Amino acid sequence: MKNFLLAGAAVLAMTGAASAADLTVEPAPVAPIVSPVFDWSGFYVGVHGGGGWGSFGTSLANSFFDDASGAFGGAQIGYNYQTGPLVLGVQTDMAFANINSTGSLFLPNDTEAKLKWLGMTTLRAGYAADTWLFYGKGGVAYGELEAGISWLNASASSWQVGWTLGAGVEKAFTKNITGFLEYDYVDLGSNSINTSLGNSDVDFTTSLVKVGLNYKF
C-alpha cells in the first residue's frame, strides 16, 4: 500500500510539472533598433582650403603668362532643405587666394598676374544617402585680379564677376560636424583696367579642388 501511494504521488508530481511547463509564456520578440536617418536641413557655417590651377590673359601680354597655380583658404555659410533624399541649398563662401602666374615679356619673369581673393554664391542640389550627400552647384563667382609688368613698374587690379560650376561629396561625422571634398570651375570673365600703358583687358579661368568642414546648427 505504501509503495502504491508513493507511486501515485510521483505521477501527480510529474503531471503538475508538465502542466506548469505548458503554461510558460514565451518572451515577445524584440524589435530591431533602427538608427535614425541623418537630416541635412538647417543652417551651417564652416572653413575650407585647397589649391587651384588655371590661366590668365591680358591684352597687354596675353601670350606671355605661364599657367597659374596656387593655394586659397576661407570660410562659408549656407542653408540646406531636405525633402526625402533630395537636398536643396544655397551657399556663399569667401577666400583669400594666391593663385598666380609669371611670364616673360622682354625679361625673365617680368610679367605677373594674381588672383587675390575669390567669392562664390551658388545654388546646390544633391542626393542624400543617410550621412552621405552627393551634390552639384552653380552660380556667381567674383574676385580681384592683379596684373603687372615689373620693369615698367606698371600694375593694376580689378574686381571681376563671372560664373562657377562644381560638384562634391559631403559626409556627416556627427549630428553637427560634416566634412566635404569639392571641385569647382571658375570663369571670372574679362574686365578692362587702366594702367600707365593704357587700358588692358584681364581675364582668368581656374579649376579648384577644395576640402573643408561645416558645423550644422
203 vs 136, which has greater pLDDT? 136
Range scoring the smallest mean pLDDT among 9-13, 60-64, 172-176: 9-13
Helix/strand/coil percentages in the chain, nearest 5: 10, 65, 20
Using pLDDT thresholds of 50, 70 and 90, give the confidence band for residue 33: low
Give the domains, in start order, of the chain with CATH numbers.
42-216 (2.40.160.20)
Torsion sign over Cα 42, 207, 97, 59 = negative
Closest to 211 (Cα-Cα) out of 172, 168, 174, 176: 168
What per-residue confidence (pLDDT) applies to 157?
A: 79
Burial group, residue 118, by CB count within 10 angstroms (0-12, 13-18, 19+): buried
Query: Mean per-residue pLDDT for 146-166?
Result: 80
Beta partners for 129?
A: 132
